[in-house]
């Protein structure tokens, strides 16, 4: 929207009317964004596509551009752990550092290690109840993408029940493997 593109203007119109931006508009925004020089060597999409229809639209977009999805990373965590992880997370309101009730607590309770800030915030949709409905949506709409990408030979599964450092290392190894010079 800030770039003043045609797709951005359409998104703005929908959002101001309180609607959800359609897949078609999201794909048009992505198409514009992929033209910029900072993504010439590739891009990592986080949280998109989320449905088989979006995955197909993404495949079509990339095919038109002469590009394709190199790899899809599936972080595999069981549902109970997911609820604990998401409902426990919060961020420093001053510097944005991410924290967690169980897994990453500030050295001194209530004070951000990074900036000394004492104000923290949680996303309104990170409660246990909304996480449960987001998980249900994941299983219904997003989990089918695992088969979609497995069939194309692009799926990388990462067991993500372990320590943050181990998962980060597994992710770095995958990204390095696909990195273009």
- Interacting residues with Zn ion (CB under 5 A): 92, 94-95, 97, 112, 114-115, 117
CB of 18 to Zn ion, least distance (A): 33
CB of 132 to Zn ion, least distance (A): 30
Nearer to Zn ion, 98 or 153 (CB): 98
Q: What is the CA radius of gyration of the chain?
A: 19
Q: Which residues contact 177 (CB under 8 A, 6 or more apart)?
A: 71
Nearer to Zn ion, 8 or 117 (CB): 117
Nearer to Zn ion, 37 or 109 (CB): 109
Q: How far apart are CA 90 and CA 7, in angstroms?
A: 32
Q: Tell whether the torsion through CA atoms of 6, 8, 14 and 16 is positive or negative.
A: negative
CB of 121 to Zn ion, least distance (A): 11
């Amino acid at each position: 929207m800030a770039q003043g593109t045609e797709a951005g203007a359409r998104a703005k119109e929908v959002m101001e009317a309180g609607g959800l931006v359609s897949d078609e508009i999201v794909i048009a925004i992505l198409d514009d964004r992929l033209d910029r020089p900072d993504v010439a060597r590739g891009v990592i999409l986080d949280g998109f596509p989320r449905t088989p229809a979006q995955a197909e639209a993404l495949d079509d977009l990339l095919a038109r551009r002469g590009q394709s999805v190199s790899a899809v990373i599936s972080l595999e965590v069981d549902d109970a752990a997911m609820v604990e992880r998401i409902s426990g997370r919060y961020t420093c309101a001053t510097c944005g550092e991410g924290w967690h009730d169980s897994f990453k607590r500030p050295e001194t309770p209530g004070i951000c290690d990074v900036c000394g800030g004492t104000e923290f915030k949680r996303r309104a949709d990170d409660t246990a109840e909304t996480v449960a409905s987001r998980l249900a949506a994941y299983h219904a709409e997003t989990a089918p993408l695992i088969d979609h990408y497995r069939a194309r030979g692009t799926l990388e599964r990462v067991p993500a029940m372990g320590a943050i450092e181990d998962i980060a290392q597994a992710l770095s190894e995958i990204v390095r493997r696909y990195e273009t010079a």
